[in-house]
Chains A and B, each alone.
Chain A
């Protein structure tokens, strides 16, 4: 509820170098994830992250929580983020809302992929 009412890291990131928009065919929610990935001590880390979501309470909460979980973390960790981990961090989601957490995890992965593509 907290993440729904007071979402963290909401908005756009103009200097983002990894961006992805994912949509959920089941219920029509849409999530956009902005990542600013930089190098620190030889490691690629997520310096800043922002998200935008058109979706239900769980969609907003999971995307907010996802951004909190990956902010400041190395890229490798971000890629390992699972929807279960997001749901757990929110103290669990009802089964019918689990698909929302999948969307958030997917948005992170795709944003990272977007960055990696442009780096090549």
Chain B
């Protein structure tokens, strides 16, 4: 049976170059990077070299890069970290984010709301694009942070981060701008000077690196308070013994990803176009979600009327095809995707959502295979459903 993995947005396989780079650090150069002896020193060198690599790619200095555990922890550290000094001033602090953030950002803001901070959640249009007028109107003297996802992993719409940063800084240079860039490392520019952001989160396993390392860019001069305690590692911001192999792997993966930006985009966009065209032609009553042009090359999310996402997912799985869904049944808490709902897609329709996310290993053959199998699956499930008026 064929094996067609189209869930790259959930996680990616670790690249051979990355495995090679990590190799020496499991059992040969296994020292604790904080130890003063030679084992420790060689581990320390590896960590700092990795940091240098990441900083070069992001166009910042090594001191501005922190390694955390995941994108989620980077998000948490960024958002909660800047508030350290402001906890006494929560009534006078305003925060802005969007309705389409990943849960790592959204849930952190919801927590802050419970703590008494005021948060504005910017709405999006039907394509998932953040409302910039709303952002301008919402910014006020008490605003301290604006956090908008670089590109959403569910439907792929790319946000105008550069413009957002410009508008925010025009209002006041003291408002910090954060972006969760987890979904973009293989396709978009990560130059933090160009983007104009103060804080940026990334996660290794989304771009061919190992699971277990996140990156956080913190612009020089910005004070972040730690949210976990216990050591001096990463400037005291992510205490805990550094995972040298994973950090080395992360840098190697990022170098691979960003080194191939143009080629990757071209190749994957072509396959994405074929998939989108094919699905819309072969399956009736289907909508592509997200912006038609300003979208990531790898994400193709559809809403199929009259079927339920998990059922489609299971049937595709049986054909060896891996995808994900935004339906309520597939989420752990039985709530449909907040991203689809924010774009104005009614709950009944968000029900029938399926996300295909392409990647390095995707071939045209695989796309053809999906286009062969999908229509019958949708038809079968539609036949099974009651005819409702």
Contacts and interface: CB of A to CB of B under 8 A. Distances in A.
Contacts of A26: 328, 334
Interface stretch (B215-223, B289-297, B380-388): B380-388
Given A28-B328, A60-B311, A53 B318 contact: no
B327 A54 contact: no
B336 interface: yes
Interface string A37-53: 00000000000000011
Interface string A8-41: 0010000000000100001111111000000000
Interface string B302-332: 0000111111001000100000000111101
B387 to A, nearest CB: 8
Given A26-B328, A28-B308, A28-B351, A21 B388 contact: yes
A7 B386 contact: no
A31 B386 contact: yes
B232 to A, nearest CB: 42
Interface centre among A21, A30, A54, A96 (most CB of B within 10 A): A54
Interface string A53-93: 11111111000000000000000000000000000000000
A5 B336 CA distance: 24
Nearest to A27: B328
Contacts of A52: 384-387
Nearest to A31: B386
A93 B314 CA distance: 16
A2 to B, nearest CB: 12
B386 A57 contact: no
Interface of A: 4-5, 7, 10, 21, 26-32, 52-60, 96, 99
Contact of A54 (B332, B347, B385): B385
B348 interface: yes
Nearest to A32: B386
Interface in B334-351: 334, 336, 347-348, 351
A52 B311 CA distance: 14
Contact of A27 (B307, B329, B388): B329
Given A52-B385, A53-B384, A96-B332, A28 B310 contact: no
A53 B388 CA distance: 11
Contact of A60 (B306, B332, B384, B387): B384
23 contacts: A4-B311, A4-B314, A27-B327, A27-B328, A27-B334, A28-B327, A28-B328, A28-B348, A28-B351, A52-B385, A54-B384, A54-B386, A55-B308, A56-B308, A56-B310, A56-B314, A57-B311, A57-B314, A58-B329, A59-B308, A59-B311, A60-B311, A60-B384
A26 to B, nearest CB: 5
B378 to A, nearest CB: 12
Interface centre among A7, A30, A55, A96 (most CB of B within 10 A): A55
Contact of A53 (B309, B328, B329, B386): B386
A10 B384 contact: yes
A55 B329 contact: yes
Contacts of B336: 27-28
Contact of A29 (B329, B381, B387): B329
A100 to B, nearest CB: 8
A7 B334 CA distance: 24
A29 B309 CA distance: 11
B329 A56 contact: yes
Contacts of A31: 386
A58 B313 CA distance: 13
Given A52-B385, A53-B385, A54-B308, 14 more contacts: A21-B388, A27-B336, A28-B308, A28-B327, A29-B329, A30-B385, A31-B386, A52-B387, A53-B386, A55-B311, A56-B314, A56-B329, A57-B314, A96-B332
B307 A54 contact: yes
A28 B318 CA distance: 24
